[in-house]
């Protein structure tokens, strides 16, 4: 039984026995013209899935100290969608077959008296089922997109939120003065995706969104704006105190422990709120102005290490200001092409540092692992930390090694804040 001549399947053979793995690979290549990739363990398989388009995984049940069931469960938590899996094993007991099917393994072939026809039939059946499921997912995504809902959280998505913001901005100043917006980020999403997988990350994001929706009032609009960021349009009744109270309720209610498949993760928010009357109070307002202002508040909350900040609120979740700025501290001005950055006087004044920071301009190197080096400019320096600028915007690890100057000593640093290309770090070693 040969596959369609016009279609070449790509199959990964996963077996810790190199002789048997090569035998099966040769069988599929010579007899059926299948493109075969080989993996000896789970790590090899993950690397192949990340780098190649795979139609089917032929997974051995017995992988030395591991087994195919455990590998399947871990892969399912790591990848939102897996290629179909056919299990290959010498254990033909009924309970093993039943468990395989319950785990979502698409088919099962015994190694004993292996026949190429049976193997190809199982692969073709699994691939056909996988493509049918893929079409069903695509149709579901299309319907969700047409409805304006976010496919992960099932809350209103970006299109609905943009329309609502545009409507809000178009209101006359007196009418829009009764509203506010809050941007809310789930702090731990990137760490969860990295350590537990994208599937668990989506589950956490959905649970976080559901909890946020429960905390909003009937008069508010809540949805997923982008990535880990949610947006709430709030009926604030023109009062900074009302908005401050709403953001505090969000901060308290969204700080909790979530259990997912016997794994506990601690979740917490970062929130930036702004009254619409605070943005262009007497003039023309566009939706982007509201988002920039809320992002500004969100960045201030991140820099200050507090759960939330509200623009225009006397408290706003911020600490009390400290002593006036020392005369030897230089405050940098925000560039006009980066409107979402917090104002310089809120980010880099000496009253928010343990030590005064002096303007410098030195070359630096950020060391990531053993082979990755990122050039940076050291723009400010103090006994406790430094201000850095990198050439491109990308997420950085929380801690890394920093070399200042051409022959400077290596220092271990931790990121305190990152706004665009700029980073603030503290020395920890």
Task: Give pLDDT tens digits for 122-155.
Answer: 898 889 888 888 888 777 777 766 767 888 898 9
Give me the pLDDT at residue 359, please: 60
Check residue 1 and give its pLDDT: 42
Binned at pLDDT 50, 70 and 90, residue 370 comes out as low
Give 189's contacts (C-beta < 8 A, 6+ positions apart): 201, 204, 205, 227, 228
**Helix 68-78 / helix 42-51 crossing angle, nearest 10 deg:** 40
pLDDT of residue 335: 32
pLDDT at 53: 86
Fold of the CATH domain 344-427: Thrombin, subunit H (2.40.10)
Q: Which part of the chain has CATH 3.40.50.2300?
A: 10-144
Question: Where in the sequence of the chain do the CATH 2.40.10.220 domains occur?
Answer: 344-427
Select the more confidently predicted residue: 97 or 331: 97
pLDDT one-digit tens code per residue, 215-228: 998 888 999 998 89
Summarize the confidence of residues 230-239 as an average pLDDT. Answer: 82
Better pLDDT: 216 or 417: 216
Distance CA 249, CA 52 (A): 45
Backbone angles phi, psi at 229, to 5 degrees: -105, 130
Asked if pLDDT for residue 327 goes beyond 60, the answer is: no
Sign of the alpha-carbon torsion through 126, 132, 134, 136? negative
pLDDT for 268? 94
- When the candidates are 2.40.340.10, 3.20.20.70, 3.50.50.60, 3.30.70.270, the CATH number that belongs to 158-311 is 3.30.70.270
pLDDT at 183 over 60: yes
State phi, psi for 104 to the nearest 5 degrees. Answer: 90, 15
Quote the pLDDT of residue 319: 34
Q: Give me Rg for the CA atoms of the chain.
A: 27
Q: Give the least confident one: 107-116, 155-164, 202-211, 253-262.
A: 107-116
Where do we find the tokens 């979530």? 258
At residue 341 the predicted structure's pLDDT band, cuts being 50, 70 and 90, is: very low
CA gap 57, 37 in Å, rounded: 10
Within 10 angstroms of residue 317's Cβ, the number of other Cβ atoms is 21
| Range(s) within the chain of domains with CATH label 3.30.70.270 | 158-311
CATH topology for 10-144 is Rossmann fold (3.40.50)
| Residue in the structure block whose two tokens are 């605070």 | 278
Q: What six digits make up the tokens of 171?
A: 């209101």
Q: Whose CA is closest to 275, among 324, 303, 314?
A: 314
Question: What's the mean pLDDT when you consider all of the chain?
Answer: 78
Q: State the pTM of this model.
A: 0.52
What tokens appear for 380 in the block?
Answer: 């400010």
pLDDT of 399-412, one tens digit each?
A: 888 888 766 778 89
């Amino acid at each position: 039984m040969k596959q369609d001549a016009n279609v070449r399947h790509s199959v990964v053979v996963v077996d810790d026995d190199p002789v048997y793995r090569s035998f099966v690979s040769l069988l599929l290549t010579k007899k059926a013209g299948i493109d075969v990739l080989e993996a000896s363990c789970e790590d090899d398989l993950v690397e192949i899935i990340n780098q190649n388009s795979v139609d089917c995984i032929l997974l051995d049940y017995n992988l030395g100290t591991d087994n195919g069931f455990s590998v399947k469960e871990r892969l399912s938590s790591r990848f939102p969608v897996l290629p179909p899996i056919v299990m290959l094993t010498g254990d033909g007991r009924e309970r093993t077959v039943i468990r395989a099917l319950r785990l979502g393994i698409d088919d099962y072939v015994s190694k004993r008296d292996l026949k190429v026809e049976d193997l190809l039939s199982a692969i073709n059946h699994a691939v056909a089922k996988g493509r049918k499921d893929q079409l069903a997912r695509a149709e579901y995504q299309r319907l969700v997109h047409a409805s304006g809902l976010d496919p992960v959280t099932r809350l209103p998505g970006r299109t609905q939120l943009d329309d609502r913001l545009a409507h809000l901005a178009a209101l006359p100043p007196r009418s829009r003065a009764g509203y506010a917006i809050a941007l809310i980020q789930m702090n731990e999403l990137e760490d969860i995706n990295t350590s537990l997988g994208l599937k668990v990350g989506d589950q956490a994001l959905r649970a976080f969104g559901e909890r946020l929706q429960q905390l909003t009032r009937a008069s508010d609009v809540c949805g997923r704006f982008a990535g880990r960021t949610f947006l709430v349009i709030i009926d604030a009744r023109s009062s900074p105190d009302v908005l401050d109270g709403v953001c505090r309720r969000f901060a308290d209610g969204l700080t909790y422990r979530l259990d997912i498949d016997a794994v506990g993760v601690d979740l917490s928010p970062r929130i930036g709120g702004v009254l619409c009357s605070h943005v262009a109070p007497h003039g023309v307002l566009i939706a982007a102005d509201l988002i920039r202002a809320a992002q500004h508040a969100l960045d201030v909350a991140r820099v200050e290490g507090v759960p939330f900040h509200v623009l225009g609120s006397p408290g706003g979740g911020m600490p009390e200001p400290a002593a006036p700025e020392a005369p030897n501290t230089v405050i940098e001005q925000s560039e006009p092409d980066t409107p979402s950055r917090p104002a310089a006087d809120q980010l880099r004044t000496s009253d928010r540092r343990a030590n005064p920071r002096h303007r410098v301009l030195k070359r630096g190197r950020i060391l990531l692992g053993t082979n990755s080096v990122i050039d940076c400019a050291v723009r400010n320096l103090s006994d406790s930390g430094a201000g850095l600028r990198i050439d491109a915007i990308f997420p950085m690890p929380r801690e890394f090694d920093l070399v200042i100057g051409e022959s400077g000593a290596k220092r271990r640093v931790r990121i305190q804040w990152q706004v665009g290309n700029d980073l603030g770090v503290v020395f920890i070693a």
